[in-house]
Chain A
Amino acid sequence: MRKRKIESSVAEKRKTALTSLENFGTKLYDQMEEGLFPWIKMPSRSIENIFYSQEVRQYILGDKAVRRSSRNIRHIRPLTQLVWAARFAHELAQSRKTSTLRDVYYSAQAYDMSFKNQPESNNIITDLETVAGLSREDFNVFPEERSAIFGDLTIGYTVPGYEGRQLNLASHPDGMMIGPALTSAEFLKTSAKMVIAIEKGGLFTRFIEEQVYRKFNALLVLTAGQSPRATRHFIRRLNGELGLPVHIFTDGDPWGMHIAMVIISGSANAAHLRELTTPDATWSGMWATDIVNYKLPSDPLTSIDIKRLHELQRDPRYRGKLWQREVKKFLKIRKKSEQEAFSRYGLTYIVDKYLPAKLKEAAS
């Protein structure tokens, strides 16, 4: 196993987050000291201000900005919620505690700041991301869903109580949950040559059992459907910090296709954020073409599938040749297929035959 010490961005990130939140507080504080009603300006997240940038290869926000002033009766409440959220996040980051969006919603009540509902509180957290230019994971607010990783990568914890401790991510055959501790860990050494991201838990387990990680020198990442932001950022780090190519395997349908796309090019909802995308990752399957070439068992596309395909066809992220070809193919064959469909050729076919072929195709 090769050993290499990888430069970490984790500690730095935490410091950036704290400073950014403190600056935000100072700005409002100073405004009030000057006798002004505190106000802020931040990029607008309305549809008209979201653009796809070929340059950054993700959605970004345009120049339109919104102003929130406490002088305005309609703004003062959301502004107060935003300052509260900043303070809450600051406390989390400082004490290195983690929290979830649900926690945020409930914590506000202790300050007589009740949110009307979960979407309102989620929205304030997104405002905070926009103002601070950081994603909520940077100030330790995590989503509920969790994905997992398995493979030869040794990490060093930075979470309180575990500082200095190390763990090899192949030590547990169910894989390791990509939670706050892992997200904030430093990468120490790895023998892996690639990352394979998989949509479904069943296939993830099959790949571990079939020792795919060893046969292909791969780190296996389970996205568990649409991957959470922490996982997307994690994949980006594996790609960026370790220089590993990323292959994504999903179901052969418009939804699987889009799971791959969001890992690669991000989503419009996160247009205010950077460093969640992995532009160099590839979607390796299952393609519509695979359904035909491998004669896989399939189901007919539903009308919702077809509507979605038409949407994707017009989506700026789908301009690439491969994407356009596959969308067209799906529309032509009007079929879809799940990853488990390979089982018709025996349990190991996907690992023995399909995977090598696809990886070769990607390399060429």
Chain B
Amino acid sequence: MAQTFEEISAADFFYRNRDIAGFTNPARAIFSSMRELIENALDASDLFNVSPDIYIRLSQENETELGEVAVYTLRVEDNGSGIPPRHIPSAFGQVLFGSKYKLKQARGTFGLGGTMAVLYGQITTHKPVYVTSSTGTSKIYRYKLMIDIQRNRPLILDRKIQINKEKWHGTTVEFCLEGDYFRAMPKILEYLKQTALVTPYANITFTDPKGRLYKFTRATTKMPTPPKETLPHPYGVDVEIIQRLTRITPYRNMLDFMKMHFHRVGENTANRFLEFAGISERKNPKKLKPHEIVKLVRMMKRFNGFLPPDAGCLSPLGEELLKAGILKELRPEFVAVFQRKPSTYSGHPFIVETAIAYGGNVPKKDDIPLYRFANRIPLLYDEASDVSVRVIRSINWRRYRVSSETPIIILVHVCSTKVPYKTVGKEFIADRPEVKREILNGIREVARQLQRFLTKQEHVEKERRRLSVFSKYLPKIARFSMELAGKEKPPNIKKLLRTVRKLEKEKD
């Protein structure tokens, strides 16, 4: 029999392999759709530097029971940057089309998530997506789209333009999809809560299919410093990247090529590197032969004179905001937060932030609960495989006065231009030694802060008990011995009680 060969598009590929993007089953699909649209909305408001107001509505055509698959309408509205009208169709109708390929921290990465959600909706309901958006110009654009899966192209079914009197900016996305909300509900609510925690400057409102309203109100309007776009670091590039660069570069010699296309490479470093690599400064990069490109990449990895990447392309939450988020969503008695200094793995800069919340509304649990975040999104699945879990297990908690009776929650936030996810699904972080060490040191730091707090608290409690014992018994001794001695008035013990209080102060 003759074999038939055919080519499939990227959309087709993801259509066939939707599992890897987190659309495994109806419950997971509804969870993933919501989170992808929410993350796009948050990215858009970060980009526009505006405190996000996000409104999410999930509604249902017909009533269903728990565990039943139904058709839902998902609508997510934001007040972010909006999308330039000519890009709207591709942004939602074309897989692997996006604005976040640049080297700076963002929630989305592949130009995949939001579009996958739309694609999933289309293949389960065969209905279009409606996107309304404005970048704050005088017009609002409304598109009705479908995806041509075989060709990975948007099909524009309708387009309307409205006058934008209020200078509204933002995006509204609405489409239908099949899913199982009731099974996904616990994870969705947890996701919203943790998102609100790690985005304490956002207002997030969610109405669920039963009409229940969940409202997460911002605790601050302060936003983290936005990330700066950066060039690739020589340690982090591969042959493909160099090849592309040589194709587009306007520079005519290797010295300028190195200086202009790479992160933290100046005249000096470029000189020393080219000498080390045995490549002439004057060589035209466009004339590099394939084996020279391979050699260049190999030498880049070997040269230890490059400066470490700068973390300006990262946008960690910061200790103050992390603390505000924890206080608002977890209401603990005590919170310790810590931001590690920037570090790198394989040429990618990253920053680890850690926190411990203790007491108050934090419940006692047998296993220490862990909230994981990467680039300010919560990671809820596959916790057991995450590097942080291993780190927590390796710590001797008794040293920090933490037992199974201690109500604590640990939070780990990793941000990077390239979060070392193990899978496309953005669910857990791989075991990179550099990252692991930073997480370990970060957790240790907040654990030490907790230990100091617990020690002090125990001490205060002990002194309080001590004082109460003295003030209970001394007056009794005074009274009984007065009666025994046949005296008229009790002995003066005020001074003694004062001494007890003084002893206590000395110890503080």
Contact = CB atoms under 8 A, between A and B. Distances in A.
Given A25-B483, A73-B466, A79-B473, 12 more contacts: A24-B481, A24-B484, A25-B481, A25-B484, A26-B481, A33-B491, A33-B492, A38-B477, A80-B473, A80-B480, A86-B484, A87-B481
Contacts of B478: 29, 32
18 contacts: A22-B484, A22-B486, A25-B485, A29-B478, A29-B491, A33-B492, A35-B495, A38-B481, A73-B469, A73-B470, A76-B469, A76-B473, A80-B476, A80-B480, A83-B484, A84-B480, A86-B480, A90-B483
B474 interface: yes
Interface in B469-501: 469-470, 473-474, 476-478, 480-487, 491-493, 495-496
Interface string A74-93: 00110110011011001000
Contacts of B483: 25, 87, 90
B487 to A, nearest CB: 6
A83 B476 contact: yes
Contact of B484 (A21, A32, A37, A79): A21
Contacts of A87: 480-481, 483-484
Contacts of B476: 80, 83-84, 111, 113
Residue of A21, A29, A87 ringed by the most chain B CB atoms within 10 A: A29
A98 to B, nearest CB: 19
Given A79-B477, A80-B476, A84-B476, A29 B470 contact: no
Nearest to A77: B473
A139 B406 CA distance: 51
Nearest to A79: B477
B485 A76 contact: no
A35 B496 contact: yes
A28 interface: yes
Nearest to A91: B483
Of listed B473, B474, B478, residue having the most chain A CB within 10 A: B473
A76 B474 contact: yes
A29 B482 contact: yes
A61 to B, nearest CB: 24
Nearest to B486: A22
A217 interface: no
B485 to A, nearest CB: 4
A23 B109 CA distance: 88
Contact of A77 (B469, B484, B486, B493): B469
A33 B478 CA distance: 10
Contact of B473 (A26, A28, A70, A90): A70
A111 B495 CA distance: 24
A33 B496 CA distance: 10
B179 to A, nearest CB: 62
Contacts of B491: 29, 32-33
B477 to A, nearest CB: 5
A86 B483 CA distance: 10
Interface string A215-247: 000000000000000000000000000000000
Nearest to A87: B480
A73 B462 CA distance: 11
A161 B217 CA distance: 82
A32 B474 CA distance: 10
A73 B469 CA distance: 7
A267 B408 CA distance: 57
A105 to B, nearest CB: 17
A164 B485 CA distance: 31
A88 to B, nearest CB: 9
Interface in A30-54: 32-33, 35, 37-38
Contacts of B470: 73, 76
Contacts of A29: 478, 481-482, 484-485, 487, 491
B480 A83 contact: yes
Contacts of A73: 466, 469-470
Contacts of B492: 32-33, 35
B493 A32 contact: yes
Interface string A10-23: 00000000000110
Interface in B192-246: none
B485 A32 contact: no
Q: Nearest 8 CB-CB pairs, A to B?
A: A25-B484, A32-B491, A28-B481, A26-B485, A25-B485, A83-B480, A80-B473, A29-B485
Contacts of A24: 481, 484
A146 B53 CA distance: 86
Contacts of A83: 476-477, 480-481, 484
Of B473, B477, B485, B496, most A-chain CB atoms within 10 Å: B477
Given A37-B496, A73-B466, A32 B481 contact: yes
Contacts of A22: 484-486
Contacts of B480: 25, 80, 83-84, 86-87
Nearest to B503: A71
A32 B496 contact: yes
A76 B496 CA distance: 13
Interface string B451-474: 000000000000000100110011
A17 B428 CA distance: 80
Contacts of B487: 29
A20 B492 CA distance: 23
A80 B484 contact: no
Interface in B286-323: none
A22 B496 CA distance: 23
B484 A26 contact: yes
A24 to B, nearest CB: 7
A154 B389 CA distance: 89
Nearest to B499: A37
A258 to B, nearest CB: 38
Nearest to A37: B496
Interface hub of B483, B484, B491, B495 (most chain A Cβ within 10 A): B484
A80 B496 CA distance: 15
A93 B494 CA distance: 32
A28 B469 contact: no
Nearest to A34: B491
Contacts of A70: 473-474, 477
A87 B470 CA distance: 20
B456 to A, nearest CB: 20
Interface string A105-145: 00000010100000000000000000000000000000000
A79 B485 CA distance: 16
A113 B480 CA distance: 12
A218 B68 CA distance: 100
A22, A73, A113: residue with the most chain B Cβ atoms closer than 10 Å: A73
B313 to A, nearest CB: 58
Given A22-B484, A77-B469, A28 B477 contact: yes
Interface in B398-435: none
Contacts of B486: 22, 25
In this complex, which of A21, A28, A32, A37 has the most chain B Cβ atoms within 10 angstroms of its Cβ? A32
A38 B474 CA distance: 9
Q: Which of B480, B485, B491 has the most CB of A within 10 A?
A: B480
Interface in B311-363: none
